[in-house]
Amino acid sequence: MWRGMVFVRTVGDLGLGKHPLRKPIAKALEGLVDARDVSGVYPDTDDIHRLSMPELQTSDAFEWVRYPWGQALRCRPLADIAHHCFTTRRPVIPSGDGVTGDAWHAVALAFGLPRHAIVRLRQVHGAGVMTTRRTDAIRESIGEWGAADAAVTDNAAVVLSVRVADCVPLLIGDRRTGAAAAVHAGWRGAASGVVTATVRELGSAFSANPADLVAAVGPSIGPCCYRVGPELRDHYLEAGHPMDAIERWFTPSPPVVARRGVPGSEPGLPDGRAPLWLNMWSVVSDSLVLAGLAAEHVHVARLCTSCGRDVFHSYRVDGPAAGRMVGVIRVGPSGSP
């Protein structure tokens, strides 16, 4: 199981405070499981828990689907390759390393596997990639599988997962071989090269050609809300990312009108410096294209977790009390056993 693990040196951690104009919002959450329903998906525009789901700006590529626990997001082109979804506030995924309760059991049931078959990583905001093959024995423990921020597999007997609450969940499928990947891409991991490392490991472990890969970038904090310090831009420069790309990723004001008011209307950073706004959607999608994927095979949901606080978990909004969402993927098209 461990022989395919690849590690890349990570960029140092920089703490980011909560958004100064955001207040924590408490929501009543449901985590009950309907054990009778293991089929998992019901395309439906009406949320069974009476939430108003965000309008999909990329409606041709994404759709809301209903699982036993509630609504989740699915990428149509990726669904032809792999069973996958991006969850919302339901099921209630804990923020820590706990595996008890209904949430992971609900996910496992919906994907037709036992809970111990969910590959759960100890995410460290780096560029480590864990590989598990169909020839590897399936763990019997429900604990974490190791420290990494991405996992790749060709094994339909496991479900890859990544936990997020503003960071980018990235799911990838190979149209030719069927291999799949799940990636946790925070700003540090993206700067370190976790996206490139994952594409490279898919090729090394399963002979995947980047031109055959289809990628889905799930809900995360958007460029409208991701206010950061200039030191993050310096880290991307030091990591060797192209200057023209960095200039697109970091802007002196939000590139779109945010719900909180007029772009650029926010105060400076606590130390008086001018803030920047980081577009992680562009960071990840550009990194995929630079790694060899065709631009038309990279699909971005463009749903902001900070703006969509009623539907998504956001660390910027809720702070340490925030729960987690998951991006999950299993080899084999949606609807297959």
Q: What distance in Å separates the CA atoms of residue 29 and residue 8, rounded to the nearest whole number?
A: 37
Asked whether the beta carbons of 66 and 41 are under 8 A apart, the reply is yes
**Residues in contact with 111: Cβ distance below 8 Å, sequence separation at least 6, in sequence order:** 40, 83, 159, 328, 330
Q: Kindly list the domain boundaries of the chain, sorted by start residue.
A: 42-221+292-331
CATH superfamily of 42-221+292-331: CNF1/YfiH-like putative cysteine hydrolases (3.60.140.10)
What does each C-alpha distance from 83 to 59, 139, 238, 304 come to in angstroms? Answer: 19, 21, 37, 23
Rounded to two decimals, the pTM is 0.82
**Residues in contact with 6: Cβ distance below 8 Å, sequence separation at least 6, in sequence order:** 128, 129, 131, 197, 200, 201, 204
- pLDDT confidence of residue 334: 78
Q: What distance in Å separates the CA atoms of residue 221 and residue 288, rounded to the nearest whole number?
A: 19
Asked whether the beta carbons of 83 and 336 are under 8 A apart, the reply is yes
- pLDDT confidence of residue 128: 97
Going residue by residue through the chain, which has 337 residues, state the pLDDT in tens, using 9 for 90 and above: 444 454 443 333 333 444 333 333 333 333 333 333 334 444 443 343 445 787 787 668 999 999 988 899 999 999 999 999 999 988 878 766 554 457 888 888 899 998 889 999 999 999 999 999 998 877 766 667 889 999 999 999 999 999 999 999 999 999 999 999 999 999 999 999 999 999 999 999 999 999 999 999 999 999 999 999 999 999 999 999 999 999 999 999 887 544 444 444 455 677 667 899 999 999 999 999 999 999 999 999 999 999 998 899 999 888 888 889 999 999 998 764 4
Q: What distance in Å separates the CA atoms of residue 52 and residue 57, rounded to the nearest whole number?
A: 15
Query: Is the four-CA dihedral 52, 105, 171, 9 of positive or negative sign?
Result: positive
Q: What distance in Å separates the CA atoms of residue 299 and residue 271, rounded to the nearest whole number?
A: 37
- pLDDT confidence of residue 213: 98
Q: Are strands 250-251 and 276-278 parallel, antiparallel or unpaired?
A: antiparallel
